[in-house]
């Protein structure tokens, strides 16, 4: 039987992690050029809302004006911004992942709002969309989509954050079988201070990890005081306490004992959205930096005339180029995979296909989460630096951007946890025969042994294509060496896994950036700024990948002479340029200064 892809004459989709396998630029990736008219119009409305309603109220939001936040959620609901991922039968818009991402990006203009919005429209609503019963969907979704109800997602506990399955909150069925009795507490719950609805994870009889819907006012359920946070101060974060709290039996969400499916699948989506939002955050920070830098005079000239400032700007813009390439590529892959589903939109089968599509690309989601939050850390930091002393005071927006971003490396799975997941998932899939790591390792090994390494070919970005391929070689070589050395014990070698994750991240970033630029070429010529961004980013990234590969090898191969052998192999897998970075910088900065 022909697969749906064959029936529709579509090329088969690459698997999760497929960027390591396919040669750079060999598959069409989705980019901003592919947005539909609707998506562009959605983005316009979302950005207008973010600027005129959210940014215009940034001060009030920062000072925890929760009635205002609720009103803004309501307004967002009226505009349809809360319902992109919700089926039409429950008042939603049933749009694809790319549309949902674009709205998420627009909301990222303010950190507190972005997190409030994400807790509502993302992690607070999606568990019911994908795992709720028909009655639960009807009862809650229309009012979540309208913003009438506010929701929160309560997984973390004081003693278990990363180790989410180690939750201690317990649920016991009442003797008459009509109610669940919850005991325990939750920690760091976004929106808790004013939410009506809580997705709470607890273990039935202390064992079967499960999800429940708890409504505000449930007997025995209380919300703690607000935390005093470093950033996203305008968002609500509180603990939840359950003391013999009772909720109706039918408020179990999904199957008993299958709460991990709810928790992890929702986290996969959350990570992707967070990564994409961070890339948008980078764009906003750059805009603040350029606006400030153009006006600020020092030594008789605008500070944007100074080489070190220009270097920062070029670096930041190049990061965004790669980040966008990864964002839209990933959401596009998910959408294309969902489009293969033959089930009816909104049906249970379709939901399963959606979940499976998102899960398929969870390596990419983790990459985006780590890369995005760390890119924003750099960009926010440098954008603040460009402000000098003014960046250190609250009067300037960049100060808040800097504080607000810090949490992005902590929640939705810390960056350490996400780093472990990247090679971890690859290895797990390889063991199940779902990812051809062995074949890949063999072909890379042979190529190295025969000296048949990627060469500089014809056409634009030739060296960067080579660097993109070499990043993958570095990854595969280091990974295979680690597997050969440690076997299953590799899972305990976190420094090695972390370094491998970093190489994989660089591999995806450069592969995506090069593919995006090549694809956007008109009449064989790549836009000079895109070309400069890719060249600059590829160079930095490839150097990092090389450094991490050396780190992984040193931590793997302890015998000095064997280690030296591996290191000299790595040297062959490294292309050190040349590149006229000053000229590249100037191409980027000229356009950046002109366009802001």
Ligand X SMILES: Cc1cc2nc3c(=O)[nH]c(=O)nc-3n(C[C@H](O)[C@H](O)[C@H](O)COP(=O)(O)OP(=O)(O)OC[C@H]3O[C@@H](n4cnc5c(N)ncnc54)[C@H](O)[C@@H]3O)c2cc1C
Active-site amino acid positions: 412
Q: Residues 6, 59, 78, 495: which binds other proteins (CB under 8 A)?
A: 78
Residue number with the smallest Cβ distance to ligand X: 161
Q: Residues 185, 237, 377, 405: which binds ligand X (CB under 6 A)?
A: 237
How far apart, in whole angstroms, are the C-alpha atoms of residue 152 and residue 154? Answer: 6
Tell me: does residue 246 bind other proteins (CB under 8 A). no
Pairing of strands 179-190, 208-215: unpaired
- 45 interface partner picked from other proteins, ligand X, none, CB below 5 to 8 A per type: other proteins
Nearer to ligand X, 53 or 406 (CB): 406
Tokens matching residue 42: 């959605």
Nearer to ligand X, 29 or 245 (CB): 245
Tell me: does residue 410 bind ligand X (CB under 6 A). yes
- 237 interface partner picked from ligand X, other proteins, none, CB below 5 to 8 A per type: ligand X
Q: How far is CA 260 from CA 195, 254, 422, in A?
A: 23, 10, 19
Tell me: does residue 195 bind ligand X (CB under 6 A). no
Nearer to ligand X, 233 or 387 (CB): 233
- SS3 call for 168: coil
How far apart, in whole angstroms, are the C-alpha atoms of residue 261 and residue 258? Answer: 6
Q: Identify whether the C-beta of residue 93 lies closer than 8 Å to the C-beta of residue 37.
A: no
Q: Which stretch binds ligand X (CB under 6 A): 7-15, 238-246, 408-416, 505-513?
A: 408-416
Q: Which stretch binds other proteins (CB under 8 A): 40-48, 111-119, 260-268, 301-309?
A: 40-48
Query: What is the closest distance, in whole angstroms, from the C-beta atom of residue 124 to ligand X in the complex?
Result: 8
Tell me: does residue 38 bind other proteins (CB under 8 A). yes
Query: What is the closest distance, in whole angstroms, from the C-beta atom of residue 163 to ligand X in the complex?
Result: 6
- 407 interface partner picked from ligand X, other proteins, none, CB below 5 to 8 A per type: ligand X
Tell me: does residue 298 bind other proteins (CB under 8 A). no
Query: What is the closest distance, in whole angstroms, from the C-beta atom of residue 226 to other proteins in the complex?
Result: 29
Tell me: does residue 44 bind other proteins (CB under 8 A). yes
Nearer to ligand X, 230 or 298 (CB): 230
- 42 interface partner picked from ligand X, other proteins, none, CB below 5 to 8 A per type: other proteins
Tell me: does residue 80 bind other proteins (CB under 8 A). yes
Nearer to ligand X, 188 or 221 (CB): 188
Q: Identify whether the C-beta of residue 44 lies closer than 8 Å to the C-beta of residue 57.
A: no
Tell how far CA 560 is from the center of its chain.
Answer: 39
Q: Which stretch binds other proteins (CB under 8 A): 39-47, 56-64, 134-142, 207-215?
A: 39-47
- 38 interface partner picked from other proteins, ligand X, none, CB below 5 to 8 A per type: other proteins
Q: Residues 55, 58, 68, 79: which binds other proteins (CB under 8 A)?
A: 79
Q: Which stretch binds other proteins (CB under 8 A): 34-42, 133-141, 369-377, 437-445?
A: 34-42
Q: How far is CA 565 from CA 559, 561, 571, 581, in A?
A: 10, 6, 10, 32
Nearer to ligand X, 402 or 473 (CB): 402
Q: Identify whether the C-beta of residue 566 lies closer than 8 Å to the C-beta of residue 481.
A: yes
Name the residue among 156, 180, 159 with its Cα closest to residue 170: 180
Tokens matching residue 331: 């959401």
How far apart, in whole angstroms, are the C-alpha atoms of residue 520 and residue 81? Answer: 30
Q: How far is CA 492 from CA 10, 43, 163, 429, 557, in A?
A: 41, 44, 16, 18, 15
- For other proteins, the binding residues in 91-120 under the rule CB under 8 A are 93, 95
Write out the DSSP string of 229-269.
-SS-TTS-EEEEEEEEEEEEGGGEESSTT-HHHHHHHHHHH
Query: What is the closest distance, in whole angstroms, from the C-beta atom of residue 53 to other proteins in the complex?
Result: 9
What contacts 379, CB < 8 A, 6 or more positions away?
281, 282, 285, 286, 316, 319, 320
Q: Give the E-state strand segments of 260-400 in sequence order.
A: 297-298, 301-302
Q: Residues 84, 313, 318, 518: which binds other proteins (CB under 8 A)?
A: 84
- 80 interface partner picked from other proteins, ligand X, none, CB below 5 to 8 A per type: other proteins
Nearer to other proteins, 37 or 395 (CB): 37
How far apart, in whole angstroms, are the C-alpha atoms of residue 278 and residue 104? Answer: 10
Query: What is the closest distance, in whole angstroms, from the C-beta atom of residue 402 to other proteins in the complex?
Result: 25
Q: Residue 258: how many CB atoms within 10 A of its CB?
A: 15
458: left (phi over 0), alpha (psi -120 to 50) or beta: beta
Tell me: does residue 491 bind ligand X (CB under 6 A). no
Draw the binding track, 152-191, toward ligand X (x: CB under 6 A; -: no contact). -xxxx----xx-------------------------xxx-
Pairing of strands 179-190, 252-253: unpaired
Tell me: does residue 27 bind ligand X (CB under 6 A). no
- SS3 call for 158: coil
Write out the DSSP string of 74-125.
HHHHHTTTT-TTS-GGGT-----HHHHHHHHHHHTTSHHHHHHHIIIIIITT
Residues that bind ligand X (CB under 6 A): 119, 153-156, 161-162, 188-190, 229, 232, 237, 407, 410-411, 414, 416-417, 420, 494
Residues that bind other proteins (CB under 8 A): 37-38, 41-42, 44-45, 48-49, 78-81, 83-84, 93, 95, 594-595
């Amino acid at each position: 039987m022909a697969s749906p892809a064959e029936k529709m004459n579509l090329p088969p989709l690459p698997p999760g992690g497929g960027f390591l396998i396919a040669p750079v630029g060999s598959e069409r990736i989705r980019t901003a050029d592919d947005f539909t008219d609707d998506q562009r119009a959605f983005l316009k409305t979302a950005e207008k809302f973010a600027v005129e309603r959210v940014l215009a109220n940034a001060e009030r939001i920062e000072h925890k004006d929760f009635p205002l936040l609720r009103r803004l959620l309501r307004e967002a609901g009226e505009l349809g911004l809360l319902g992109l991922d919700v089926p039409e039968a429950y008042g939603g818009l049933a749009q694809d992942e790319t549309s949902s991402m674009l709205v998420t990006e627009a909301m990222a203009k303010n950190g507190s709002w972005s997190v409030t919005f994400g807790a509502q429209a993302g992690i607070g609503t999606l568990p019911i969309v994908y795992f709720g019963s028909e009655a639960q969907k009807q009862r809650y979704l229309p009012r979540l989509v309208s913003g009438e109800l506010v929701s929160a997602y309560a997984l973390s506990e004081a003693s278990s954050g990363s180790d989410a399955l180690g939750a201690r909150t317990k649920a016991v069925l009442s003797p008459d079988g009509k109610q669940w009795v919850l005991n325990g507490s939750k920690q760091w719950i976004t929106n808790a201070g004013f939410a009506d609805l809580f997705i709470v994870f607890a273990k039935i009889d202390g064992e079967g990890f499960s999800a429940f819907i708890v409504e505000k006012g449930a007997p025995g359920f209380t919300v703690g005081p607000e935390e005093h946070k470093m950033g996203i101060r305008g968002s609500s974060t509180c603990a939840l306490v359950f003391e013999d709290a009772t909720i109706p039996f039918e408020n179990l969400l999904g199957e008993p004992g299958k709460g991990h499916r709810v928790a992890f699948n929702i986290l996969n989506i959350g990570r992707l959205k967070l990564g994409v939002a961070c890339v948008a955050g980078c764009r906003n920070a750059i805009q603040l930096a350029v606006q400030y830098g153009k006006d600020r005079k020092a030594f008789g000239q605008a500070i944007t005339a100074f080489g070190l400032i220009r270097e920062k700007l070029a670096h930041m813009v190049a990061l965004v180029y790669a980040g966008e390439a990864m964002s839209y590529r990933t959401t596009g892959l998910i959408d294309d995979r969902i489009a293969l589903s033959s089930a009816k939109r909104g049906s249970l089968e379709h939901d399963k296909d959606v979940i499976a599509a998102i899960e398929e690309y969870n390596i990419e989601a983790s990459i985006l989460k780590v890369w995005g939050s760390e890119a924003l850390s750099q960009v926010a930091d440098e954008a603040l630096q460009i402000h000098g002393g003014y960046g250190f005071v609250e009067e300037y927006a960049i100060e808040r951007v800097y504080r607000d971003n810090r949490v992005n490396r902590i929640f939705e799975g810390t960056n350490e946890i996400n780093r472990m997941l990247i090679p971890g998932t690859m290895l797990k899939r390889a063991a199940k025969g779902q990812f051809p790591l062995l074949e890949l390792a063999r072909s890379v090994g042979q190529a190295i042994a025969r000296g048949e390494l990627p060469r500089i070919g014809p056409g634009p970005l030739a060296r960067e294509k080579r660097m993109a391929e070499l990043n993958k070689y570095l990854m595969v070589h280091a990974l295979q060496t680690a597997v050969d050395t440690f076997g299953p014990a590799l899972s305990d070698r976190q420094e090695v896994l972390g370094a491998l994750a970093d190489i994989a991240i660089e591999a995806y970033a450069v592969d995506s950036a090069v593919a995006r630029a090549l694809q956007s070429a008109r009449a064989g010529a790549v836009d000079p700024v895109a070309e400069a961004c890719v060249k600059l980013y590829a160079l930095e990234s490839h150097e990092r990948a090389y450094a991490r590969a050396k780190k992984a090898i040193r931590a793997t191969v302890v015998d000095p002479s064997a280690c030296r052998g591996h290191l000299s192999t790595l040297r062959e897998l490294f292309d050190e340029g040349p590149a006229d970075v000053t000229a590249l910088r100037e191409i980027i900065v000229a356009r950046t200064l002109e366009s802001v």
